[in-house]
Amino acid sequence: MTSATLRAVLTIELDGDGLHELVRTTDSDGLEVIDRKGRRLADLGAGGQVAMAAKLLDLPGEQLLVAYPDGTLHVWADASAKESDAALARYRHPLYRANRRLFGTGYNLNVLGGL
């Protein structure tokens, strides 16, 4: 029998190419973004908790709002993001738009990532 570490994983579409990236915790309490093949795309530092993962700002792609233990909030975005037709269609989807209006409930982190 082997043991495995349970990690929090969320989906996010940071670069707008229509394929989701993954945000997960690391063994050392870090937060990182990986692509669908497991390649690390970004190190978001230690101790962060994702508060929102969706299209938050008028920038290409989706963004992450991360809260850190010292009380700081960071919005992470891909500066080179470009929105594909698939990404634009996703943002126009009625369920996506409805869930963006419900940010305060917290449950929609996974719902938005699944569209």
78 binds Ca ion (CB under 5 A): no
**Binding status of residue 88 toward Ca ion by CB under 5 A:** no
Q: Is 19 an interacting residue with respect to Ca ion (CB under 5 A)?
A: yes
Give the H or E element holding residue 11: strand 9-12
Burial class from Cβ neighbours inside 10 Å (0-12, 13-18, 19+) for residue 23 reads buried
* Interatomic CA distance for residues 45 and 64, integer angstroms: 13
Number of residues that bind Ca ion (CB under 5 A): 4
- For Ca ion, the binding residue among 17, 51, 59, 67 (CB under 5 A) is 17
The residue written with tokens 């990690």 in the block is: 7
Q: Which is nearer to Ca ion, 59 or 67 (CB)?
A: 59
Q: Which residues bind Ca ion (CB under 5 A)?
A: 13, 15, 17, 19
